[in-house]
Amino acid sequence: MSSASKPAGSKAQKGGFVLGLIVGLLLGLAVALGVALYITKSPFPFTNKVPQRTAEQDAAEAERNRNWDPNAPLAGKGAARSASGVVNAPAPAPAPAPAASAAAPVAVAAPASGAAPAKASPRADAPPAATAPTPTSATAAVTAPAAAAGDAYVYFVQAGAFTRPEEAESQKAKLAIQGFTAKTMEREQNGRTVYRVRLGPLDTRDAAEELQRKIEGAGFEANLVRVQR
């Protein structure tokens, strides 16, 4: 009796294993079919769902970028340059008016008929007010360099601003061929990244203007830019 039940139990185990294997294969096939249908119906299934730009938007953006010049903010700075760069000394303050030399005379009552007239004591005149000394030309010459020494700015010479980093690197390489060492600085301007090619910083405006003349003499367009320390 026990020997007859053993084959029946082994057959039941084998039948359960085969049934589970068939169910697993069917489930895997259903999942693979669902993934295949999702991929075929969606043109870009693994990309972010972001709104696509239309051709009209691209055309409007290209029209705005056509006339945009990243160097436009520096265009008006060249006309405001000082020709001499010398700080003018302030004009001397006018001297105060001298005080009155003597006070107004005081009326004296007439003496009685029998009394002798009293002699008025002489009153010393008030000393004249001291006048402010007029600054000489030597004093003004000393004041002007002292004002220039306390410059609160550092200066750069900008040799161009570009919207693409490749253009900025090309300009920097051209300057290096002429013997100038420049650096590229990034900045957000009107919502766009601008790559500026600059040389510096320089401590004085005279040194910056001399470097600007050298760069312009080499055939490059240069602008003077000052930045607060």
pLDDT band at 51 (very low <50, low <70, confident <90, very high): low
- CA dihedral angle for residue 83, residue 89, residue 91, residue 92, rounded to 10 degrees: -170
What tokens appear for 83 in the block? 């020709």
Chain segment 31-45, per-residue pLDDT in tens = 998 888 888 776 555
pLDDT of residue 61: 77
pLDDT of residue 162: 93
- Res 23 pLDDT > 70: yes
How many C-beta atoms surround the C-beta of residue 148 within 10 A?
A: 14
Query: String of b and e for 132-145 (b: at least 16 CB within 10 Å)?
Result: eeeeeeeeeeeeee
- Res 218 pLDDT > 80: yes
Percentage with pLDDT > 70 across the chain = 52
Residue 96 near residue 132 (C-beta atoms within 8 A): yes
CA angle 204, 208, 212 (to 5 degrees): 170
pLDDT band at 133 (very low <50, low <70, confident <90, very high): very low
pLDDT of residue 176: 94
Q: Which residue has the higher pLDDT, 31 or 147?
A: 31
Mean pLDDT of 135-156: 57
- Res 81 pLDDT > 60: no
CA distance 75 to 97: 50
- Res 53 pLDDT > 50: yes
- CA dihedral angle for residue 169, residue 174, residue 175, residue 176, rounded to 10 degrees: 90
Chain segment 156-201, per-residue pLDDT in tens = 999 999 999 999 999 999 999 999 999 999 988 888 899 999 998 9
pTM to 2 decimals?
0.39
pLDDT band at 211 (very low <50, low <70, confident <90, very high): very high
Strand locations in 27-169 (E):
153-162
CA distance 204 to 182: 18
- Res 88 pLDDT > 50: no
pLDDT of residue 189: 84
Mean pLDDT of the chain: 71
